[in-house]
Amino acid sequence: MSEGTTIYDFHGRLLRDTFGRDLNDRHAFLLFTLFHTHQIDLAAPVLTDRPLVLQVCPITQRHCAEALASVWSGCDDPRAKPAYSYWGWNGEWEAYHHVENLAGEEAERLRQLIGQLERHPFVSRIVPED
């Protein structure tokens, strides 16, 4: 798990290493939100194509969808297609409206997911974007 990765696969790598396929849609959309709204400070230079980078800024919705789809890559599962989480987050989950109105239980679960990701050897800390 300690070898580096590219900036393009970084978020997918975190998801695969930390959670594997044990993600339900509710948690996947919270992680989508996290990656779209939080900066990740790296524990060391782990990005093979960006060796001087120690902070990864929040990513676009499409990049979030691609990262989540990579978890199910090679499976006959609708979540293996980026469109599944992209349209799920922007549609039924209600995107920014939902983010701004996280229920107490969801906010707590988001904190727990952050804690799990912060235990990954690539990650120093995860902070909300300014």
What is the predicted pLDDT for the residue at 2? 56
Residue 99 near residue 31 (C-beta atoms within 8 A): no
Output the DSSP codes for 37-82. Answer: HEEEEESS--BTT-TT--EE----HHHHHHHHHHHTTTSSSGGGSH
Q: Give domain limits for the chain.
A: 10-122
What is the predicted pLDDT for the residue at 36? 97
Mean pLDDT of all residues in 68-96: 97
Q: Whole-model pTM?
A: 0.94
What is the predicted pLDDT for the residue at 91? 97
Q: Is 11 a residue whose pLDDT tops 90?
A: yes
Q: Is 130 a residue whose pLDDT tops 80?
A: no
Mean pLDDT of all residues in 36-59: 97
